Structure formats: C-alpha cells, structure tokens
Structure 1
Amino acid sequence: MENGAEQLILLLVSLVANVFSAFAGGGAGLLQFPALIFLGLPFGVALATHKVASVALGVGATLRHLREKSLEWKFSLFILATGLPGVIVGAAFILDVPDALARLALGVLTIGIGLYSFFNRQLGLTHAPIHRTRHGYVVGGLGLFVVGVLNGSLTSGTGLFCTLWLVRWFGLDYRRAVAYTLVLVGLFWNGAGAVTLGILGEIRWSWLPALLVGSLAGGYLGAHWSIIKGNLWIKRSFEIITLLVGLKLIF
C-alpha cells in the first residue's frame, strides 16, 4: 500500500470521517475503520492503526476548542481519571475476544441512544449542570469507565456514548459535551488505546501519514463547524451518526 492512489483514498476517507466525527461528537470509525479492513488490513492491525490515527482527531479538535475555553479543567481530569482505566482494560482484552456478538449488541445500543436523543426533544439544547454531588460523580464515573472499556475494545462510535452520557447524566449541552469528547476521548483515551494496542498488536506505520493528516484537518474543521452551528445542528448530526454507526455495526 505504497502507491499514491491508495494514500489519496486514505486521506479522503480520513478527512470525511473525522469532519463528521468532530461535528457530531463521535463516529469516526463509521468510515475510517471499515475502510482499513476493506483495503486489506486484518481486524487487529486495522484497529490499532485506526486508534493511532484517531489521536490526530483529538489534536485537531483541541486546537480549535482551546480557543473557545469550553472546558473545565477539574471536570476534564475527572473524565480522564474514570475513563482511562476502562480504555486500557478494553484494549488489553479485545484482541483475544470474538467480536460478532459484541458488535451486534453495541449496534443495537448505539441505535438506541440515537432514538433516545431524538425523542427527547430538549435533551442537550441547554447547559444545565446536574449530579455534581459525591453520589453523582460516583455513578457518572462508573458510566465513564464502562464507556472507556467500550472505547478501548470496540472502536466504532464509542465517542458517541461519552457525548450522550455527559449530556444525560451531567446536564451538559451538546456543544460542551462534544468538546469534552473530542479533546479527552479523541486525544487521551484514544492515545491510551493506541499505546496498548501498539504494544500488544501491530500498527501499519506506512498508512499513518495520510490518515494523520486527514484526522488532524478533519478534527479542526469539524470542531469549528460545531462551535459556529450550535446545539440543534449538533444534536441532529449526533442522532444521524448514531443510527448509521449502529446499522453499520449490525449489518
């Protein structure tokens, strides 16, 4: 896979996938991960390579969101502390686990969260922080740990779970939730998963330059559009992406 045409395909797929992911708060795996398998990589190698490329999505989104000062640093550290252990656990076990049943279950669950958001018309349209108590943080942290396990093991669309959990449990609006997901999941959770999979598995390094450029540019552009378009656009995009990711996982 060294010729220019294949590198161009990788660049374009990565750019499109990460623009949509950065705008909706997850779902880069909808296009990018299956494309790597279609182009000839085994599942484990494709997963590890995709994880490394996804870190660039977090870098691109971080560069844009830091200009907006969208993040509370204490809350950011909480998300990292509760989610990262789950990512490492998930990434360490996935290479030895048959994934057909898990993908079916995750697909049904992903469609479910999209429908949940759609039928809750006002969900995520306003910023109204809740559950900022000890009990609220314990339950919220357990939820983030579970999402981290999914993120480390099943790459397609798990950022969407983090986005909805931040909206539903902690009362964030979609714009803020997407910012946390892209910066913390995209940069740090995916980084931890990439390192774990890189140690335990194999990465196709020759494919990464095109994927990294597409992810970096797509992350920045998608984050920019999410900031200027507002919550209703993000909510609708989130719902569409979750349905597409869920159907892709099932079929």
Structure 2
Amino acid sequence: MPDLILLFVVSLIANTLSSLAGGGAGLLQLPILLFLGLAFPVALATHKLASVALGVGATLKHLRARTLDWRFSLVVLGFGLPGVWLGARLILSIPEHTALLALAILTTGLGAHSLLSPAQGQHAAPRAREGWRLWLGGGVLFLIGVLNGSLTSGTGLFVTLWLIGWFGMDYKQAVAYTLVLVGLFWNGAGAIALAMQAGIHWPWVPVLLAASVLGGYLGAHWGLARGNRTIKRAFEAVTIATGLSLFAKAWL
C-alpha cells in the first residue's frame, strides 16, 4: 500500500504538469517505476499505457471546449502513428545510454530555444497546411513519432514546439493537440507495440490510470483557464527539468 500511494502521488503530479506543459510525464513517472523495481522494458511499456489515460483526461476537457480541428488532427495521426510503431519496434535494440543522452540534448535545447524566443507561441497564425510545407511538416512528425515510440519521455514536448514553430499554433492550441493526439493515440500505439515485446506490470496499472486521467483533466483545465504565457513558462520549466534528469540518468 505505501508503494501504491507513492506511485499515485508522483504520477498525479507528473501528469498534471505534463498536461499543462504539453509533455514530460515520464520525467517523474518512469523513474518511480524503475525505483520500485520494474525492469526498464517493462517500466517503459507500463508508463506508455498509463500515458494513454493522460490523453483520455485531456480529451474529455478539450472535447467540451471544442479546441481541436479534426481534419488537421488526422494529419498528425496519419504521419505520426507509423513512426511510433517503428520506434517501438526498434527500442530494444538501441543502447539505453545513447538514447537517453540524445534525448537529453534535444529536450534541453527545446527549453533553451523557448526561453530565448519570448514572443513564440503567444498568438496563433496558422500556416503550412497544404502543399510541400504540409508534407515536410508531416515528415518531421513521423520522425518525432519514431522518437515517441522508442524513447522514454519528452517527445510530446517536441510535438508541442513543432506545432507552434512550423504550423503556427499558439501554446494553448499546440498543447491541446499534443495531449489528445500524442497522449491518447501515439502513446496507445506505442504501448501496444511495447507490450507485445516486453509485457506490462498490470497490478500497478489501475493506480497509474487513475492518476493519469485526473492529472490530464486538471492540467487541461488550468491550461484553458490560463494564458499562453503561463503555459509557455510551464513548458520551459518541464523541458529543462526533463533534459537535466535525462542527462543524470545517462551518466549515472
């Protein structure tokens, strides 16, 4: 019971922050699964499954708010899901140290870039929705999908920043798309692929699912209630903290 209580509290905090910032639940949730004794492949698969519930909680809130354009959502899913499946099939053949170090560099860079771009994502200016720009943007989403399927945390943050930088969304819009499409669909595909290879620790799943749904709903609620500047600050804090955590895991 003490382990389950600790797992619920840590997961609730992780998923609430992730829902507000647009990614990064693995910063706290995956390490606690490893700390409590799960092997890395099983912990990763279990974390992915729990992250699907984060998408469920956020979806409930954003469906009521009618935040998403479902035609563009199909673009994100169509390009991203094949990459997720490919990445999940490759993860067990990639050295963990190399994967963590690469992700640490990329994630920390995202936070630094956002800090140095104070006007970024404050106002929506939709673009790159047709022609070669759409295909190029979709190609990058495919590559992020590969990272999402193969690495542990932070890839939702990549999607958030790409939707802002390439497709012209503001932070509120980008976080909503990330939470629903990455949290629910990308992570769902990754969880299935990883479960087929490594298995899932089912006794802890109900606690993780409850924390993810509640955290997803709370984070989405606060994100809609607050302005883009608040979400931007949360994004920067989570990305930099995630990057530093990954550096530590890569070298310790």
Q: Which category of TM-score, normalised to the shorter sequence, fits these structures?
A: over 0.9
Equivalences for residues 86-125 of structure 1 within 5 A: 86-125=83-122
What's 2:228 paired with? Answer: 231
Q: How far is the alpha carbon of 1:84 from its aligned partner?
A: 0.3
Give the Cα separation in 2 of the matches to 1:226 and 1:249: 26
Partner of 2:44: 47
Which stretch shows the higher mean deviation, 131-140 or 70-79? Answer: 131-140
Counterpart AA for 1:174:
Y
State which of 165, 168, 185 in structure 2 corresponds to 1:168. 165
Does residue 36 (structure 1) correspond to residue 33 (structure 2)? The answer is yes
Aligned with residue 244 of structure 1, among 236, 241, 244: 241
In the TM superposition, 1:1-251 aligns within 5 A as: 4-251=1-248
Partner Cα distance (2:118, 2:94) in 1? 38
**TM-score, length basis structure 1:** 0.98
After superposing on structure 2, the runs of 4+ consecutive aligned residues of structure 1 that deviate more than 2 Å are none
RMSD (Å), alpha carbons:
0.7
Residues of 1 paired with 2:14 and 2:5: CA distance?
14
Cα deviation, residue 222, structure 1? 0.4
Q: Which residue identity is paired with 2:13?
A: V
- The count of aligned residue pairs is 248
Counterpart CA distance in 1 for 2:126 and 2:221 is: 24
Q: Which runs of 5+ in 2 are unaligned?
A: none
Cα shift at 1:103: 1.1
SS in structure 1 opposite 2:64? Answer: coil
Q: In 2, Cα distance between the equivalents of 1:242 and 1:91?
A: 22
**Structure-2 separation of matches of 1:234 and 1:146:** 25
> Hey, what's the Cα distance between the residues in 2 that align with 1:229 and 1:166?
19
CA deviations on 1:61-94 (whole Å, 9 max, x unpaired) are 0000111111001100000000000000000110
Amino acid in structure 1 at the alignment position of 2:110: I
Provide the TM-score with structure 2 as the length reference: 0.97
Structure 2: how far apart are the matches of 1:88 and 1:132? 25
Paired-residue identity, %: 58
